[in-house]
Amino acid sequence: MKIFTIAEIAQAHNGSINKAHDYIEALVTTGVDAVKFQTHIAEAESSIHEPFRIKFTDDKTRFDYWKRMEFTLEEWQGLKAHCDMVGLEFMSSPFSNQAVDLLEKIGVKRYKIGSGEVNNWLLLQKIVKTGKPIILSSGMSSFTELDQTVKFLKEARADFSILQCTTSYPTKPEDYGLNVIRELKERYRVPVGFSDHSARIETGIAAVALGAKILEFHAVFSRNDFGPDATSSLEIEEIKNLVKSVQNLALAIKNPVDKGDNSSFSNLKAIFEKSLAVNKDLSKGHILTFDDLEAKKPKGYGLEASFFEDVIGKRLVRDLNKWDFLNENDLDE
């Protein structure tokens, strides 16, 4: 089992195609499987009436901001080619049917659906028609809403997975919703993952331990950078640590230990386990008490330490020196 890790660049490039390429170069060093952008076509997805989630830019309207985040088809093709060259999967979330058309021209393997698009069945139908796998983020959806969308996707015979996600930036520990990972698995019987906005690596590690097979997180060069997601993102070195940690954890989960079989520890047990000994000089005929006993390494030079109750009250048949091991032939029957 390998965890599929997705580093989301989103709008961290702030409209700069050069910076978008810089992110690809940085993220290839982290071990992630895919980098994800967001494909925005302002006229197709927004209007001048859309409010800002956070007013973080000098753009007059949110529509103007999305317009500035657009890349041309050729620029998108360049980003895809860059990812192909360095061995990363190129991904991007579409926010309009036109964006799907653009991404089909570029050639994506799968689609990630943002939390705000779960109820956008028009977009989902467009993506279903491509026949490609879908990763659905559940951030703003109740189970009632998810039930309806899952029914829609299953009836369309779509290949899909669902991510637990909390649409809160950055997400506080009490809002992670790690319990939902198991609930999603049991409710829908599809692969489940976790989309993280906590800006902490332990969140993703915990999600994998609880059964997440896909892990998505925002990437940023510095959490002090400009942008709406910077404070909710992981920096490059943190991503390296996270990816290594979750893949090690996945390997551990794939290889369960049989606690009923400890045969591989035979040599170590002989070294670390102990034998009974006496802790003082004792004369022949002495009746052993608990306070006469000690346990010393290694095992096999005296009676096993676990047999101590069997020797209490027994009489010595010979003198023993302090720290001598205690054996069965030292005791009166």
Question: To which residue do tokens 């049989």 refer?
Answer: 258
Count of alpha carbons within 13 Å of 74, Cβ hemisphere only?
Answer: 0
DSSP class of residue 167 equals: -
Q: Please spell the DSSP secondary structure of 283-326, one letter per residue.
A: -TTPBP-GGGEEEESSTTSSSBGGGHHHHTTPBBSS-B-TT-B-
Show the tokens assigned to 138: 């559940």
Residues with Cβ within 8 Å of 246's Cβ and at least 6 positions away in sequence, in order, are: 3, 5, 204, 205, 208, 215
CA distance 153 to 176: 26
Calculate the CA dihedral of residues 139, 124, 39, 177 and round it to 10 degrees.
Answer: 10
Cβ distance 91 to 79 under 8 Å?
A: no
Residues with Cβ within 8 Å of 183's Cβ and at least 6 positions away in sequence, in order, are: none
Check residue 124 and give its pLDDT: 97
Tens of pLDDT along 8-60?
Answer: 999 899 899 999 999 999 999 999 999 999 999 988 987 777 777 666 667 77
Which of 254, 288, 304 is the last residue in one of the domains?
254
CA distance 110 to 37: 13
Mark whether 245 and 284 lie in a shared domain: no
Residue 92's closest CA among 147, 143, 154, 23? Answer: 23
Cβ distance 295 to 310 under 8 Å?
A: no
Mark whether 324 and 180 lie in a shared domain: no
Mark whether 277 and 196 lie in a shared domain: no
Mark whether 226 and 93 lie in a shared domain: yes
Mark whether 67 and 137 lie in a shared domain: yes
Mark whether 41 and 167 lie in a shared domain: yes
CA distance 138 to 162: 7
CA distance 60 to 227: 15
Q: Which domain holds residue 288?
A: 263-330
Which of 254, 281, 311 is the last residue in one of the domains?
254
Residues with Cβ within 8 Å of 7's Cβ and at least 6 positions away in sequence, in order, are: 27, 30, 32, 34, 35, 36, 216, 217, 218, 219, 239
CA distance 169 to 228: 9
Mark whether 250 and 269 lie in a shared domain: no
Q: pLDDT tens digits, the chain, 333 residues: what are they? A: 789 999 999 989 989 999 999 999 999 999 999 999 999 998 898 777 777 766 666 777 888 888 888 899 999 999 999 999 999 999 999 999 999 999 999 999 999 999 889 999 999 999 999 999 999 999 888 999 999 999 999 999 999 999 999 888 898 999 899 999 999 999 999 999 999 999 999 999 999 999 999 999 999 999 988 777 888 999 999 999 999 999 999 999 999 999 999 888 888 888 899 999 999 999 999 999 999 999 999 999 999 999 999 999 999 999 999 999 999 999 997
What CATH number does the domain containing 53 carry? 3.20.20.70
* Strand spans (E) along 177-287: 192-196, 214-218, 275-278
**Alpha helix (H) ranges present in 16-171?**
17-27, 42-45, 62-68, 73-86, 97-106, 121-128, 143-155
Q: Please state the pTM of the whole predicted model.
A: 0.86
Mark whether 153 and 300 lie in a shared domain: no
Question: To which residue do tokens 């109750």 refer?
Answer: 309
Mark whether 243 and 298 lie in a shared domain: no
Tens of pLDDT along 152-189?
Answer: 999 999 999 999 998 888 989 998 999 999 999 999 99
Mark whether 310 and 239 lie in a shared domain: no
CA distance 149 to 139: 13
Which of 212, 234, 254 is the last residue in one of the domains?
254
What CATH number does the domain containing 269 carry? 3.90.1210.10
Count of alpha carbons within 13 Å of 12, Cβ hemisphere only?
Answer: 31
Mark whether 317 and 244 lie in a shared domain: no
Domain count, the chain: 2
Residue 79's closest CA among 130, 40, 35? Answer: 35
Mark whether 317 and 194 lie in a shared domain: no
Check residue 43 and give its pLDDT: 85
CA distance 151 to 50: 30
Cβ distance 9 to 34 under 8 Å?
A: no
